[in-house]
């Protein structure tokens, strides 16, 4: 059975790529915690830094930009918290799990990321939250996935379900500048 949190993150990353974002990291972690996704947009002198990220990514993902969605003109670094929930959850599809304590932890984690990557520290930053709904399809079988397996996903659109690994996944909401 696939890890539903990672599956939700892969769906969000696929959607971000269609919007012209470059995914720098999946599940970047340090002593303070973990950031689900780190992405960037824009153009400029820092693009050499992105090239090094692309070749050194832990999951060997190929970062591509969609020609249909050009990058915004000014660079931006985004730290994304992904909340993947099933039906009947208690925390408003993950939104209530982003407490002030969680926000502070993500802030500290992002600061350490920037300390380790000084070539990106002058970029404007923001914290986004993605809310993903996941429902297992009854009677559908799916292969077990290794923890770091990158699944082939159909095109992802906000609010539209995709079927993958025996699950119906919906990127319900993407909240820009959710806190910070």
Strand partners, 171: 132
The predicted structure's pLDDT at residue 66: 38
The predicted structure's pLDDT at residue 49: 52
The 161-164 sheet, strands edge to edge: 22-30, 33-41, 76-85, 125-136, 167-179, 161-164
Average pLDDT over residues 104-112: 96
Q: Does residue 93 register a pLDDT over 70? A: yes
Quote the CA–CA distance of 163 and 142 in Å, as a whole number: 11
Flag whether the pTM goes above 0.75: yes
Q: What percent of the chain has pLDDT over 70?
A: 74
Quote the CA–CA distance of 40 and 104 in Å, as a whole number: 21
Domains and their CATH numbers in the chain: 4-179 (3.40.1350.10)
pLDDT tens for each residue of 13-28: 999 999 999 999 999 9
Quote the CA–CA distance of 98 and 178 in Å, as a whole number: 9
Average pLDDT over residues 102-130: 95
Sign of the four-CA dihedral 76, 81, 25, 142: negative
Average pLDDT over residues 95-99: 88
Average pLDDT over residues 79-101: 88
Q: Does residue 113 register a pLDDT over 50? A: yes
Q: What percent of the chain has pLDDT over 90?
A: 56
* Token pair 């909240």: residue: 175
pLDDT tens for each residue of 134-152: 998 875 545 444 445 567 7
Quote the CA–CA distance of 16 and 157 in Å, as a whole number: 10
Residue 135, C-beta contacts closer than 8 angstroms, at least 6 positions apart: 86, 87, 167, 168, 169
């Amino acid at each position: 059975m696939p890890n539903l949190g990672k599956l939700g993150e892969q769906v969000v990353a696929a959607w971000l790529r269609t919007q012209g974002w470059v995914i720098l990291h999946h599940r970047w972690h340090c002593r303070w915690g973990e950031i689900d996704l780190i992405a960037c947009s824009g153009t400029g002198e820092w693009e050499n830094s992105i090239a090094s990220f692309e070749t050194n990514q832990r999951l060997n993902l190929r970062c591509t930009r969609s020609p249909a969605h050009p990058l915004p003109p000014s660079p931006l670094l985004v730290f994304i918290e992904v909340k993947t929930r099933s039906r009947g959850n208690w925390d408003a599809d993950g939104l209530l799990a982003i407490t002030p304590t969680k926000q502070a932890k993500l802030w500290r984690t992002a600061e350490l990321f920037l300390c380790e990557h000084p070539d990106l520290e002058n970029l404007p930053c923001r914290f986004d939250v993605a809310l993903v709904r996941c429902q297992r399809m009854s009677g559908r079988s799916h292969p077990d996935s290794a923890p770091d397996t990158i699944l082939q996903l159909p095109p992802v659109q906000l609010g539209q379900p995709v079927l993958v690994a025996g699950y119906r996944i919906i990127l319900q909401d993407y909240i820009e500048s959710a806190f910070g």
